[in-house]
């Protein structure tokens, strides 16, 4: 109803719109909320890799193709990002489940949870990759 | 005075008619699959690390072994059900053009089901040694 005029025939009043993202100073809790959604979307498309890996395991040539991709530098970067994205979304999800129980809404708690989410996801991703690269026997 | 066309209250008529045209089922299913996905994702990561650096025959044998295959099947079903709801929420939040929204919502269902069933097919194939 944008063209609606007021009763006396004047143009509609320019009322303020509800504040949106660009109005606010970025805060950690807000950034973690946005990142939770972005990592969820990334994980969504990452499942293509999961389905590829599972089905590639059926035969040597198909698995060689997957291993070539996974071992390439672009494949490594994508898989590292995917690992972090999954871990971050999982920790963020646990945070949301805590909130669902009605806990963790205090000023200190929510800041602490947001920081733990970010630091935890980075730390766990690096630990998993160190374990993974060691399991593969170093460089290859 | 004409009689009212129905005797349902306004609340009863709007109940369950959000952007998704349904009630709280998706909210609840998203929570249930979230809870299931936490241990299943941890288990799947452990399995993947166990399989790193092994050749195809070993990977096929381990992925197709009963315990590992069942965990991976549960993992795949849980995350694809969860991500279908998640992407549905994203589409409903940002796409306000109804025809496009409909196309994207249907595509989302197709994608989640195709990825899920492709993975399930691969795991069953390894399990049954076909």
Q: What is the pLDDT of residues A62-113, one digit of tens each?
A: 999 999 999 999 999 999 999 999 999 999 999 999 999 999 999 999 999 9
Q: Does A55 touch chain B (CB under 8 A)?
A: yes
Instruction: Look at residue A108 and give its three-state secondary structure.
Output: helix
CB-based contacts of B47: which residues, under 8 Å, 6+ apart? B62, B63, B68, B71, B72
Q: Is B30 a member of any domain?
A: no
Residue A17 predicted with pLDDT over 70: no
Q: Is B19 a member of any domain?
A: no
pLDDT of A136? 84
Best B49, B61, B92, B129 member to test A by mutation, with max A CBs in 10 Å, is B49
B119 and A51 within 8 Å at the Cβ level: the answer is yes
Residues of chain B with pLDDT under 70: 1-6, 8, 12-23, 130
Q: Is B123 a member of any domain?
A: yes
Residue A4 predicted with pLDDT over 60: no
What is d(CA B97, CA B69) in angstroms, rounded to the nearest whole number? 42
Q: Does A2 touch chain B (CB under 8 A)?
A: no
B74 vs A22: which has the higher pLDDT: B74
Which residue range forms the structural domain that includes residue B100?
37-128
Q: What is the DSSP string of B29-46?
A: HHHHHHHHHHHHHHHHHH
Share in percent of chain A as helix, strand, coil (round to 5): 70, 0, 30
pLDDT of A8? 63
Q: Is B24 a member of any domain?
A: no
User: Who among A48, A54, A136 is closest to B52 (CB)?
Assistant: A136
Q: Is B110 a member of any domain?
A: yes
Contact map slice: B 1-30 vs A, CB within 8 A: none
What is d(CA B103, CA B65) in angstroms, rounded to the nearest whole number? 39
Q: Is B43 a member of any domain?
A: yes
A50 and B119 within 8 Å at the Cβ level: the answer is yes
A60 and B87 within 8 Å at the Cβ level: the answer is no
pLDDT of A25? 81
User: Who among A40, A55, A59 is closest to B86 (CB)?
Assistant: A40
Question: With contacts defined as CB-CB under 8 Å, which chain A residues touch B105?
Answer: none
Q: What is chain A's length? A: 140
Instruction: Look at residue A24 and give its three-state secondary structure.
Output: coil
pLDDT of A14? 74
For chain A, which residues make up each domain, given as ranges? Answer: 27-135
Chain segment A23-73, per-residue pLDDT in tens: 778 889 999 999 999 999 999 999 999 999 999 999 999 999 999 999 999
What integer best gives the mean pLDDT of chain A?
89
The answer to whether residues A99 and B34 touch, using CB atoms and an 8 Å cutoff, is no
Question: With contacts defined as CB-CB under 8 Å, which chain A residues touch B128?
Answer: none
Q: How many domains does chain B have?
A: 1
pLDDT of B76? 98
Using CA atoms of B28, A40, B72, A60 in order, give the dihedral in degrees to the nearest 10: 160
pLDDT of A1? 42
Question: Under CATH, to which class is A27-135 assigned?
Answer: mainly alpha
The ipTM value here is 0.84
């Amino acid at each position: 109803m944008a063209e609606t005029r007021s009763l006396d025939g004047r143009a509609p009043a320019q009322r303020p719109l509800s504040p949106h993202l660009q109005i606010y100073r970025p805060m950690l809790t807000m950034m973690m909320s946005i990142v939770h959604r972005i990592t969820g979307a990334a994980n969504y498309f990452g499942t293509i890799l999961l389905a590829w890996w599972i089905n590639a395991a059926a035969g040597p040539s198909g698995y060689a193709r997957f291993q070539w991709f996974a071992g390439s530098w672009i494949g490594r970067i994508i898989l590292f990002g995917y690992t972090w994205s999954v871990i971050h979304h999982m920790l963020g999800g646990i945070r949301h489940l805590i909130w669902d129980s009605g806990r963790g809404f205090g000023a200190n708690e929510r800041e602490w949870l947001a920081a733990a989410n970010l630091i935890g996801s980075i730390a766990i991703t690096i630990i998993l990759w160190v374990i993974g690269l060691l399991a593969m026997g170093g460089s290859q | 005075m004409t009689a009212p066309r129905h005797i349902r209250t306004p609340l009863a008529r709007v109940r369950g008619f959000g952007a998704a045209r349904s009630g709280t089922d998706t909210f609840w299913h998203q929570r249930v699959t979230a809870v299931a996905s936490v241990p299943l994702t941890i288990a799947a990561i452990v399995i993947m690390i166990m399989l790193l650096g092994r050749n195809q025959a070993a990977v096929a044998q381990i992925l197709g072994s009963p315990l590992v295959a069942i965990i991976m099947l549960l993992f795949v079903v849980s995350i694809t059900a969860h991500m279908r709801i998640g992407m549905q929420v994203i589409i409903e939040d940002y796409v306000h053009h109804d025809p496009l929204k409909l196309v994207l919502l249907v595509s989302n269902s197709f994608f989640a089901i195709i990825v899920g069933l492709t993975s399930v097919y691969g795991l069953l194939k390894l399990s049954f040694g076909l």
